[in-house]
């Protein structure tokens, strides 16, 4: 008497391992994190009690949380916007049949391949006073008075971190957009040219709609990645100088692993989750409406 699996259940059986792993490593931690956010869990204490919304009430008056939230929103908006703009420009450039463009296409992803820690160390060297490339450049163009350690300057640190994001991710956008552009039928461009459409008209009427789905994917992924990004800030400034580059993921880390206040840290994580969920709900609604 052998065991038999009904044909209609085979599909379910095949995805069962994935479902089990996702439940263990995604769903359970997610709900556990939300549960802990309603407690006063402290890593050095055995006892833990439920405190209702106390942690969330604390966030409203927590100056560093509000600064971190503002920085996270600014960072995400600015980074994703400029990645999108420069990504399209670079993709259009790569699409042209220019000398050396093939070589450029093959090396363009280097910034994506380099480990984040190496990228940060490289930028830290470039930002050094006196001998860093950034300061050498300013000296060459007669702006020696700007000589400073850029990650240590409270006004410049966040823009430098934004540059770091752009440097790493623009080529990724460009390659993705280029692939989408190459899938647009050439007939459309030929017809437009015959009709006497300008380059701008062609771009807005053919290219942009043609890569629309790719734009949606890239923007969606990068809003998520940038908002949750921890390593760039943690490795380069740790949230400083003072609170100039504090962002929510770094603040969560500090609450959990410097102060050991897991409950409070989890409440910040839950706020991040809610913000991203609101973003996705609105985004999907807009997308669905435009599809109709």
> Closer to other proteins at the Cβ: 165 or 254?
254
Instruction: Give me the least distance between CB of 22 and other proteins, in Å please.
Output: 19
> Closer to other proteins at the Cβ: 1 or 194?
1
> Closer to other proteins at the Cβ: 102 or 154?
154
Question: Which parts of this chain interact with other proteins (CB under 8 A)?
Answer: 2-3, 42-45, 129, 148-149, 152, 154, 237-242, 254, 257-261
> Closer to other proteins at the Cβ: 2 or 142?
2
What is the Cα Rg of the chain in Å? 24
- Residue in 249, 231, 219, 244 with CA at minimum distance from that of residue 119: 231
> Closer to other proteins at the Cβ: 207 or 261?
261
The 3-state secondary structure of the chain reads CCCCCCHHHHHHHHHHHHHHHHHHHHHHHHHHHHHHCCECCCCCCCCCCECCCHHHHHHHCCHHHHHHHHHHHHHHHHHHHHHHHHHHHHHHHHHCCCCCHHHHHHHCCHHHHCCHHHHHHHHHHHCCCCCCHHHHHHHHCCCHHHCCCHHHCCCCHHHHHHHHHHHHHHHHHHHHHHHHHHCCCHHHHHHHHHCCCCHHHHHHHHHHHHCHHHHHHHHHHHHHHHHHCCHHHHHHCCCCCCCCCCCHHHHHHHHHHCCCCHHHHHHHHHHHHHHHHHHHHHHHHHHHHHHC
Q: Contact 219/40 with Cβ under 8 angstroms?
A: no
> Closer to other proteins at the Cβ: 3 or 200?
3
Q: Interior CA angle at 157 toward 153 and 158, to 5°?
A: 145
> Closer to other proteins at the Cβ: 210 or 238?
238
Instruction: Give me the least distance between CB of 134 and other proteins, in Å please.
Output: 13
């Amino acid at each position: 008497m052998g065991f038999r699996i009904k044909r209609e259940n085979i599909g379910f059986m095949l995805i069962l391992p994935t479902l089990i792993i996702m439940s263990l490593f995604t769903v359970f931690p997610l709900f556990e994190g939300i549960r802990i956010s309603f407690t006063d869990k402290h890593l050095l204490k055995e006892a833990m009690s439920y405190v209702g919304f106390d942690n969330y009430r604390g966030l409203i008056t927590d100056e560093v949380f509000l600064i971190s939230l503002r920085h996270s929103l600014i960072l995400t908006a600015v980074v994703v916007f400029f990645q999108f703009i420069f990504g399209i420009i670079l993709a259009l450039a790569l699409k042209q049949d220019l000398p050396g463009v093939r070589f450029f296409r093959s090396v363009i992803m280097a910034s994506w391949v380099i480990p984040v820690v190496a990228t940060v160390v490289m930028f830290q060297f470039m930002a050094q006073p006196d001998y860093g490339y950034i300061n050498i450049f300013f000296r060459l163009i007669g702006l020696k008075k700007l000589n400073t350690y850029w990650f240590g300057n409270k006004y410049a640190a966040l823009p430098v971190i934004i540059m770091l994001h752009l440097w790493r991710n623009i080529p990724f956008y460009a390659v993705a957009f280029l692939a989408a552009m190459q899938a647009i039928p050439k007939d459309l461009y030929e017809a437009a040219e015959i009709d006497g459409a300008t380059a701008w008209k062609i771009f807005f009427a053919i290219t942009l709609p043609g890569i629309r789905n790719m734009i949606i994917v890239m923007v969606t992924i990068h809003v998520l990645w940038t908002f949750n990004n921890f390593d760039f800030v943690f490795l380069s400034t740790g949230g400083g100088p003072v609170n100039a580059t504090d962002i929510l993921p770094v603040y969560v880390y500090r609450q959990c692993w410097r102060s050991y206040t897991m409950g409070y840290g989890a409440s910040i994580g839950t706020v991040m989750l809610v913000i991203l969920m609101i973003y996705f709900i609105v985004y999907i609604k807009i997308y669905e409406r435009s599809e109709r």
